[in-house]
Amino acid sequence: MQNKLITQENLKALVNELAASNDVFAPKRENENTVSFGKINSFDEYVPGVLLTNTTVKDKVYLQSEQLFQYELKKDTVEFKEKAPGKEAVIFGGRPCDARGFDVIDKLFNWSGYEDGPYTGGRKNTTIITVSCEKPELTCFCTSFAGGSPADGKGSDILLTPVSGKFLAEVLTERGEKLAAKYSKYFTDASDAETAAKAEFAKAAETKITKKLDLAAVKKNLDSSFDSPYWDTVHLPCVKCGACTYVCPTCYCFDITEKKFGYLNGERNRTWDSCMSEMFTKMAGGHNPRTDTKRRFRQRFMHKFRYHVDNFKEELCTGCGRCIRRCPVGIDIRKVVEEAK
Partner 1 sequence: MSNIYIPHKARIASIKQETADIKSFQFELLDSEVRKNFKWKSGQFLILSVFGVGEATFTFANPQTRAEYVECSIKKTGLVTEALHDLEVGDIVALRGPYGNWFPFEKFKGQNLLFVGGGIGIAAIRSPIEYSLDTRNDFKDITILYGGRSPLDICYFDKFDEWQGKKANLVLTADKGSEGWKHKVGFVPAVLKEMKPSRDNCTVITCGPPIMIKFVLKELTDLGFAPEQIVTTLEMKMKCGLGKCGRCNIQQLYVCKDGPVFDYAEIKKLPDEF
Min separation Cβ 60 and partner 1, Å:
18
Neighbours of 47 (CB within 10 A): 17
Binding residues (CB under 8 A) for partner 1: these are 68-69, 71, 73, 76-78, 80, 82, 85, 108-109, 111-112, 114-118, 120-121, 124, 226-227, 252-258, 260, 263, 266, 268, 270, 273, 275, 280-285, 287, 289-290, 295, 299, 302-303, 306-308, 310-311
| 72-103 residues labelled b (16+ CB within 10 A) or e (exposed) | eeeeeeeeeeeeeeeeebbbbbbbbbbbbbbb
Min separation Cβ 245 and partner 1, Å:
10
Min separation Cβ 57 and partner 1, Å:
20
Nearer to partner 1, 241 or 253 (CB): 253
Nearer to partner 1, 124 or 185 (CB): 124
Min separation Cβ 219 and partner 1, Å:
12
Mapping DSSP to helix (H, G, I), strand (E, B) and coil, where does residue 313 land?
coil
Nearer to partner 1, 160 or 243 (CB): 243
Phi-psi region of 173 (alpha: psi -120 to 50; beta: other; left: phi over 0): beta
Nearer to partner 1, 222 or 336 (CB): 222
Phi-psi region of 142 (alpha: psi -120 to 50; beta: other; left: phi over 0): alpha
Compute the CA torsion angle 232, 233, 239, 240 (nearest 10 deg): -30
Residue 9's alpha-carbon distances to 151, 179, 223, in angstroms, are 22, 18, 52
Nearer to partner 1, 80 or 210 (CB): 80
Nearer to partner 1, 207 or 257 (CB): 257
Min separation Cβ 48 and partner 1, Å:
34
Q: DSSP state, 304?
A: I
**Which amino acid is located at 147 in the chain?**
G
With 0-12 CB in 10 A as exposed, 13-18 as middle and 19+ as buried, what is 324?
buried
Nearer to partner 1, 10 or 265 (CB): 265
Residue spans of alpha helices (H) in 164-292 = 174-182, 192-207, 215-224, 230-234, 243-246
| 119-130 residues labelled b (16+ CB within 10 A) or e (exposed) | bebbbebbbbbb
Min separation Cβ 339 and partner 1, Å:
20
Min separation Cβ 258 and partner 1, Å:
4
